Structure 1
Amino acid sequence: MNLSLRKSIVLYLTVFTVLALFLSSVTAYLCSHRIEAIRDSYPVRGERYYLTNEKGEQLGEGTFISKSRVPLSKEDERRIAVLEFLIVGAAPVYSALCIFAAAMLFYSGKLKRPLQELREASEKISRNDLELVVAYDSADELGQLCGSFEAMRSALAENFAKMWRQIEDRKQLNAVFAHELRTPLTVLKGYDEILENSPELQTRNMAVTMGKHIGRLEHYVEGMSRSRRLEDMQPEYRINLPHELLDSIRESGDMECKAYGKELKFQSRISEHGLLVDKDWILQVCNNLLSNAIRYADKVITISVMEREDGILLQVMDDGSGFSAKGLEKAVNPYYTEEKGNDGHFGLGLSICKMLCERHGGCLKVENHTTGARVTAFFGVKKTLPKVS
């Protein structure tokens, strides 16, 4: 039926209410008839009176005057009590059963299938599977909802396919761009090295300046290639001992901070059991965050490593000026940088860190604290080794 949900529930309730009244009436009639039959099976006690003539002869059949019925047996009294209870209780019992039956039929006929379709579709969409078609052809409210859901799924599938094509096109464009730039940069670098050996001071100064710009472009091309490679990589989970991971982070931090004259503070709170993580990815993120902090720190950089129930938390803090309002919003975007100078920095570090964290089942968060900037990287920890396909 293509009735609306409201009309359908009214129809179901009406039909089953009539059925409950009919069953109650039939039950009451049958019980009353049975009670009457039981009572009639017992004779009535009384006296018969006759009319007689003067000679004492009986006239007619006489008149029977009853005084009382013969007492019912205990068993028949119980039977009659049960039958009377059925007469009284039949209506509410039948009403409850019929309402329950109406609700079940309404659910199975009008709700079960569309709800199942919507539940399966929502589960598949949550897994980025947009191939399932929501097929429920009905003119009621749930049919309209399924139609709207199918239209949304179709639009999502189309937009997802379009976005995927754009991502692939961007990857190919970046790859071609990075590849095509390498040859002219190599040629320019060769000419620059020749000019640096020129006897004229002005020419040598120009060559030095040009060399810096060529170096920036080479760094930019390398960053593009690296970002493209990371998009196709997956973490390699291996069991790592906590002290080995902490030692690697501490050694890398000490070396970098000493090279730039910064003080390193290292904090850790982690258990001794093995961690199923990609150690190289964690170290790569740590090095990127550390390099970023060194550029902005005044004197002190703090690295904190803490274990959570479902992962590892890595925080890198500096005592610099912190992120600007715009930086807090866009710091993890590719190629974003707050610096205007030509220092060779193209804003790929935090973007790459964010990509690695998300691929590792975590996330990246940038914020300011009381004395500077703080970047928190979270890495999800696998409970078991992933299957190798």
Structure 2
Amino acid sequence: MEKIKHYRLNLSLRKSLVLYVAVFAVLALILSIMTISICDNTVDTIRKSYPLAGEKYYLTNEQGKRLGDGTYIGNVPVMPSGQDERIITLLELFSTIAAPVYSALCIIAAAFLFYRDKLKKPLANLRIAAEKISNNDLDFAVGYDSKDELGELVDSFEIMRTALVNNFSEMWKQVEERKALNAAFAHDLRTPLTVLKGYNEMLQVDADERTRKIAATMGKHISRMEAYVSSMSSLRRLEDTQPKYEAVSLQPFLSSLQENAQMVCTQNRKALHLQNEVPACELFIDRSFILQVCNNLLANAVRYARTSITLSFSLQNKGLLIMVLDDGKGFDKNIVHKVTNPYFTEEDRAEHFGLGLYICRLLCEHHGGYLNIDNTPNGAMVSAFFKNLSL
């Protein structure tokens, strides 16, 4: 039995399907023959229980004595009773439909057993493995004791999982090395920058005017380098920050965001249009994450908007969606895929290091959401989604 079971498990899907169909086709044929035979025999038995009617003739001897049981001439069959007639009708019907009914039932049974024996387990294993991988859980193994096509697919899935584990391990190693390198770089730069800043202050009070001008220019670049080093330290802290969820009543919180947005737009002489489609409800979110993202998006929008900015709040998939639109020139199609990269900027400005959108993307992803960059016919649009913890 073990050999037969092992052979059946390792049989290819095509051969297995043919085998199941063939076995159940033979079973359907046998059942049809047996059913037809039983029905016919039963009908014959019922009909033989009714004697023939008619005039009976006997052979006689010279003395007129009857010989034998006699013979009917012009036999007239006796009609069965109503109940027996119905039974005969049903048996003849069973005999007629036996073959197609058994064939259909056996095909269904063959398909069910083929799915149960050859498809159900490997498909379930693959579904569970796919769900774990989608949740970034690679601490498992997927296997299936068969050498058929699905067994090979499961083995390939396991090879892919192992490769992902190795790649993720290497990637995290590189990320940690980069963080350590950035931290060391930022730390080591502070001392020479402090020294340069001291010498620069001395040069700025020199008697020579040309020297003072050169020192002033150097001072600007030293300040830019200090800001850059500070941004590297802040960015490293943000990359390690995780949200602290709490139950937040949305309307009061969104009202505070609207007030901040109105103040920023007023200071920059831009009109603000508000769209609040959020009903009165509570979400489990991190206030500080959303506040920082909203402020960064507004600061980016007022920099490029010509006259107006639109701030929109709505619920999507029971999470919070914030959209900021401006009527500026929009994002360059050639670099739109780069604008959320760290330190990417189209401008050479001392106060702007190209971290705003990267920080927004980082915080949205840490909050289980996303940041989407797009253009509209009238300007640019940035969408920030924050997932509700209770989902």
| TM-score relative to the length of structure 1 | 0.86
SS of match in other structure, 1:376: strand
Pick aligned residue for 2:232 from 224, 228, 231: 224
Q: Is residue 127 of structure 1 aligned with residue 135 of structure 2?
A: yes
Match of 1:311 in 2: 320
CA-to-aligned-CA distance 1:55-83 (integer Å, 9 cap, x gap): x4548547523523444333332332232
Matches of 1:199 and 1:149, distance apart in 2: 75
Please tell me whether the aligned partners of residues 327 and 338 of structure 1 are also in contact (alpha carbons under 8 angstroms).
no
Matches of 1:94 and 1:315, distance apart in 2: 66
Matches of 2:249 and 2:136, distance apart in 1: 32
- Rate the CA distance shift 1:205–1:108 in 2: closer, same or farther, 3 A: same
| TM-score relative to the length of structure 2 | 0.85
Matches of 2:280 and 2:91, distance apart in 1: 74
Match of 2:383 in 1: 377
The one-letter amino acid paired with 1:112 is K
Matches of 1:351 and 1:136, distance apart in 2: 43
The one-letter amino acid paired with 2:326 is M
Match of 1:137 in 2: 145
- Rate the CA distance shift 1:176–1:44 in 2: closer, same or farther, 3 A: same
- Rate the CA distance shift 1:249–1:15 in 2: closer, same or farther, 3 A: same
Matches of 1:36 and 1:248, distance apart in 2: 92
Aligned residues: 377
Pick aligned residue for 1:108 from 94, 116, 123: 116
Matches of 1:350 and 1:145, distance apart in 2: 41
Match of 1:353 in 2: 360
Match of 1:118 in 2: 126
Please tell me whether the aligned partners of residues 323 and 368 of structure 1 are also in contact (alpha carbons under 8 angstroms).
yes
Matches of 2:304 and 2:72, distance apart in 1: 121
SS of match in other structure, 2:175: helix
Pairwise mapping of residues 49-64 of structure 1 onto structure 2 (< 5 A)? 49-53=58-62, 56-58=63-65, 60-61=67-68, 63-64=70-71
- Rate the CA distance shift 1:256–1:301 in 2: closer, same or farther, 3 A: same
Matches of 1:172 and 1:112, distance apart in 2: 48
Match of 1:263 in 2: 270
Deviation at 1:344, TM superposition (A): 4.4
Please tell me whether the aligned partners of residues 265 and 271 of structure 2 are also in contact (alpha carbons under 8 angstroms).
no
Q: Is residue 242 of structure 1 aligned with residue 248 of structure 2?
A: no
Pick aligned residue for 2:176 from 165, 168, 177: 168
Please tell me whether the aligned partners of residues 258 and 274 of structure 2 are also in contact (alpha carbons under 8 angstroms).
no
Matches of 2:64 and 2:279, distance apart in 1: 124
Pick aligned residue for 1:365 from 361, 366, 372: 372
Matches of 1:44 and 1:15, distance apart in 2: 46
Q: Is residue 200 of structure 1 aligned with residue 208 of structure 2?
A: yes
- Rate the CA distance shift 1:176–1:275 in 2: closer, same or farther, 3 A: farther
Deviation at 1:31, TM superposition (A): 2.3
Match of 1:48 in 2: 57
Please tell me whether the aligned partners of residues 324 and 382 of structure 2 are also in contact (alpha carbons under 8 angstroms).
yes
Q: Is residue 27 of structure 1 aligned with residue 35 of structure 2?
A: yes
Please tell me whether the aligned partners of residues 43 and 69 of structure 1 are also in contact (alpha carbons under 8 angstroms).
yes
CA-to-aligned-CA distance 1:105-141 (integer Å, 9 cap, x gap): 1111111111111111111111111223221132222
Q: Is residue 191 of structure 1 aligned with residue 199 of structure 2?
A: yes
Pairwise mapping of residues 338-349 of structure 1 onto structure 2 (< 5 A)? 338-339=346-347, 341=348, 343-349=350-356
Deviation at 1:150, TM superposition (A): 2.0
Identity of aligned residues (%): 47
Please tell me whether the aligned partners of residues 275 and 311 of structure 2 are also in contact (alpha carbons under 8 angstroms).
yes
Superposed CA RMSD:
2.8
- Rate the CA distance shift 1:87–1:130 in 2: closer, same or farther, 3 A: same
Q: Which runs of 5+ in 1 are unaligned?
A: none
Q: Which moved more, 1:210-219 or 1:31-40?
A: 31-40
Q: Which moved more, 1:174-183 or 1:79-88?
A: 79-88
Matches of 1:226 and 1:292, distance apart in 2: 19
- Rate the CA distance shift 1:59–1:131 in 2: closer, same or farther, 3 A: same
Q: Is residue 7 of structure 1 aligned with residue 52 of structure 2?
A: no
